[in-house]
Amino acid sequence: MPLKVQDEYLETGSSIAADSQINYEDAISYWTSVPASVNGVLGGFGEQTAVPKVDIVGSLTFLRRLSSRMICPAGEMKYTIDMGAGIGRITRDVLWKVSDKIDLLEPVVPFVKEMAKELVEVEKLGKLGEIYNIGMQDWIPDKKYWMIWCQWCVGQLPDEALVQFWQKCRDALMENGTLIVKENIAPVEDIFDDTDSSVTRTDSKFRQLFSQAGFKLIATDVQRGMPKELYPVRMYSLKVMQK
């Protein structure tokens, strides 16, 4: 699920729930047909535009603001997993800078193959962990993660499956672990896109699903500097809700 141009996806007023139209097989088929490149995974807003750099700077700035609230327990490794990782762009440009080791999860085979090229330097640093060639809905985690990063991927899951996935994330986080979600935001209602069989959710829907999954929101910000024709992109930082 890449960046989305607003004019292409208008609110329909349909009584059919947007997320009910998601089809995993259609999504995998679409993404397998897309070039395994930055331009491909970002829906045409690749390195010929300012978008990749703006995105990376925004993510690093957000993480710096959160650093005092992301203290890793003494003696523990800062272990991160990059969900729906594509070709490994976020691991390559962001996550290795703040993590001791990074796992990646990506269901699209050509993207996983491209990771071997994109993550050479991360591997040389000894920071490359496991690569899981599976979907988010099939992930069976260990309780070891300091941070779980979900960017431009959760629109591929229906609401119920997304809550179940985030519940697994909740159980996979170490003490004081953090879930980061960075996604496109629909202005009025959730919108289904049949191109990649994904849904763009509203801010209010995200907050509802976070709560259902057992997370509390501790910080959020809008990504600055994106082209005006795109949907807004919002970053969320979440902690496990204490019982």
Is 40 labelled a binding residue? no
Is 136 labelled a binding residue? yes
| H/E element, 87 | none
The answer on pLDDT for 9 being more than 90 is: no
The answer on pLDDT for 7 being more than 60 is: no
Q: Does residue 4 contact residue 177 with C-beta atoms inside 8 Å?
A: no
Q: How confident is the model at residue 3 (pLDDT cuts 50, 70, 90)?
A: low
> What is the arithmetic mean of pLDDT over 133-141?
97
Is 89 labelled a binding residue? yes
pLDDT per residue over 53-109, tens digit each?
A: 999 999 999 999 999 999 999 999 999 999 999 999 999 999 999 999 999 999 999
Is 137 labelled a binding residue? yes
All residues at 6 or more sequence positions from 215 whose CB lies less than 8 Å from its CB, including other chains: 166, 170, 179, 238, 239, 240, 241
Which DSSP symbol is given to 232? Answer: P
pLDDT per residue over 160-219, tens digit each?
A: 999 999 999 999 999 999 999 999 999 999 999 999 999 999 999 999 999 999 999 999
* Domains of the chain (ranges, CATH numbers): 18-240 (3.40.50.150)
